[in-house]
Amino acid sequence: MTDAAFRALARSAAMRYPANDRFAVHFANGKLTGDPVFAHLIASQLIPAGKRVLDLGCGQGLLAALLDAPGRPSARFHGIDLRKRDIARARAAVPQGEWVEGDIRSAEFPASDVVVILDVLHYIDIAAQDAVLDRVRAALGARGRLLLRIGDQSARRGFRASQWVDAVVTFVRGHRVTPVFGRPLADWVARLEALGFAVHAQPMSQGTPFANVLLVADLVPPGAAAR
């Protein structure tokens, strides 16, 4: 997909939000076109059509709105987020999805084919991160996939930059700024491998000063070849 085609797709996704919610529309368009992870997920076809997708920390449902754009086969979405307003926005944009206002540390995870966690786990402490990953592993099928974007704490300058921007955006949106619990990339990979995932790490902060990495983690049944 060309850059122009993706931008048109992103605009179409942003227009799914109610026109009178100008913040949601502008935020969707800006985030989808400015954050490289969304274009990468589409171009690499990391979420096949028709799969059961669990989006943890889904926000206003940007990924669902993008994947469910006209002319694209849709996935089946279940999103969980703490923020009541964002869940309402997700419901407005993608009403056929299942949207739950809740805490990923305690909310039920339905059986899923793909779990997506983008820039979320650093808001909870290390023990809670591990507990969420354990539950993700249990929710996934035999060949399930986890798409996890993290900040690589070992890349100190980029990690600090992402912390600062994250805090500013959180404050501007009227939310409380919370502590950040980072881990080096090697620790994330080791943790996922211990759970039985085959992990591919892809830098995912092109055009930004951050140290973001997308971990594509696939479960491989014993005796089966990795896909």
Range scoring the smallest mean pLDDT among 51-55, 67-71, 100-104, 174-178: 174-178
**Across the chain, what does the average pLDDT equal?**
88
Q: Report which of residues 208 and 31 the model is more confident about.
A: 31
pLDDT value at residue 49: 86
CATH architecture of 3-219: 3-Layer(aba) Sandwich (3.40)
Domain boundaries, given as residue ranges, for the chain: 3-219
pLDDT value at residue 74: 67
pLDDT in tens, 119-169: 999 999 999 999 999 999 999 988 899 999 998 888 656 555 566 456 545
Beta bridge mates, 52: 76
**Half-sphere exposure of residue 44: CA atoms within 13 angstroms, side-chain side:** 13
pLDDT value at residue 166: 64
Average pLDDT value for residue range 81-92? 96
pLDDT value at residue 75: 77
Q: Which of 78, 31, 82 is nearest to 55 (CA)?
A: 78
Residue 105's CB: how many other CB atoms inside 10 A?
Answer: 13
What percent helix, strand, coil does the chain show, rounded to 5?
40, 20, 35
pLDDT in tens, 156-168: 565 555 664 565 4
Q: Which of 73, 71, 28 is nearest to 47 (CA)?
A: 73
Tell me how far apart the alpha carbons of residues 62 and 155 are, in angstroms, rounded to a whole number. 27
Report yes or no: 151 and 162 within 8 Å, Cβ to Cβ: yes
Range scoring the smallest mean pLDDT among 76-80, 108-112, 176-180, 207-211: 176-180
* Residue 227: pLDDT over 50: no
Range scoring the smallest mean pLDDT among 36-50, 88-102, 162-176, 182-196: 162-176
Average pLDDT value for residue range 217-226? 72
> How far does Cα 143 stand from its chain's mean position?
19
